[in-house]
Amino acid sequence: MNIVIVGSGFGGLNAAIEIRKKLKKSPHDVIVISEKAEFVFRPSLIWLPFHKHSTNKFTFPLRPTFEKIGVTFIEKRVQAIKPKQNHVICNDNEIIEYDYLILASGASPDWARIKGLEGMSASVYDLSSALQTGKKLEEMEEGEPIVIGVAQENPNPGIAYEFLFELYTYLSERRIKCPITFFTYEKELFGGKGTEPTEKLEGLMREKQITYHCNVSIKKVDDRMIYLNNGKRLPYSFLLVLPPYKGKEYILSSKDFKHENGILPVHETLQSVQWENIFVVGDANNIKGTKTGRAAELQGALAAKNIIKQMQHEPLMLFQHDTLYIMEIGKEGAMFIMNTSSKQGILKWTISGMMPHMMKRAFEKYYLLKFS
């Protein structure tokens, strides 16, 4: 029996490890297909443009990791899925057959969804864009207007807040003063995560004299201005906007999937609503809530467990969403935000300072030591 996983980020890596661990002595084959040869601990990308980290500190090659646990690794790009035939089609037209499939390849920034945005915004979504953003920052001059924002429908606004405060610290250390404006579609700063994170962020904005706008969306962008739906026009020399997401091209080109802009609907078991032997984890599915590496990791492990339960004709487990988030806030350290269910109801807890920052650094080291 072939269990195929498309994608090798937090979701795909943990799904492969969980399945191989549970089926250690079985004849079933576990296959990971990914166009990326290395794992990137993506939460650390935020430090790369500010020269606070080097890529060799938070990446490792995937093949040795998979070989060590008996997982076949195929370094190719997926071109299409044919769920009626149980086929994964690679870019060289190789066909990989599966009995169970986990789609864990995430989503992509949909720059084209907002008029004029494509090509105008800096990015920290991958290694190359984060390094390129670092080069732009080196050219920053006194007085240049900066705009940082979260576009409508983006599922992970925390990245924008992190970049905002890391950038403020970066400029302050270089004694460069620039007017900074922040905007978000959220009704309040980091809305929905509790009053403490919002109040902390509001205080930081006031202290650092950062102008901000909540509950707004982008109408259009040109090479010098952002136009918001509240009538505000924000001039910029440097722009970083988190755009909406779209699914991967192989989903968009696969005719047998119902999807919304490439994002696949799933049950709470993480099964595709159409195909019971396909599970979708992380940014690729339509489960509500902040899309983070932790969410993808938990979903990857759950999808693996549910495949084994399905093989054994046992009831499947449901995904329980919670929030466990560490947000960098520049020289003040970081905020640790937890919203989770308990017998007493929803437990909400927020702490800030250098301790959460040290926790994130420590977790990065632990993760790489554990899996590399």
**CATH number at 112-243:** 3.50.50.60
Query: 198 with 215: CB under 8 angstroms?
Result: no
Distance CA 278, CA 267 (A): 11
Domain 2-108+245-311 -> CATH class: alpha beta
Distance CA 343, CA 242 (A): 36
The pLDDT of residue 348 is 75
Helix (H) / strand (E) element for 351: namely strand 345-353
Across all residues in the chain, what is the average pLDDT? 94
pTM of the predicted protein model: 0.94
pLDDT at position 321 over 90: no
Q: What are phi and psi of 226, to 5 degrees?
A: -100, 135
* Average of per-residue pLDDT across 288-305: 92
To the nearest 10°, the Cα dihedral for 167, 172, 177, 181? 30
172: Cβ contacts below 8 Å, ≥ 6 apart:
331
The pLDDT of residue 99 is 97
Domain boundaries, the chain: 2-108+245-311, 112-243
The pLDDT of residue 341 is 65
- Residue that the structure tokens 């983070």 belong to: 292
Write out pLDDT tens, residues 28-40: 999 999 999 999 9
pLDDT at position 345 over 80: no
Write out pLDDT tens, residues 116-172: 999 999 999 999 999 999 999 999 999 999 999 999 999 999 999 999 999 999 999
The pLDDT of residue 343 is 61
350: Cβ contacts below 8 Å, ≥ 6 apart:
194, 196, 197, 200, 335, 336, 337, 338
Distance CA 149, CA 171 (A): 18
Q: What percent of the chain has pLDDT over 90?
A: 86
Residue type, 14: N
Q: How confident is the model at residue 193 (pLDDT cuts 50, 70, 90)?
A: confident
* Average of per-residue pLDDT across 209-216: 98
Q: Do domains 2-108+245-311 and 112-243 have the same CATH topology?
A: yes
pLDDT at position 346 over 70: no
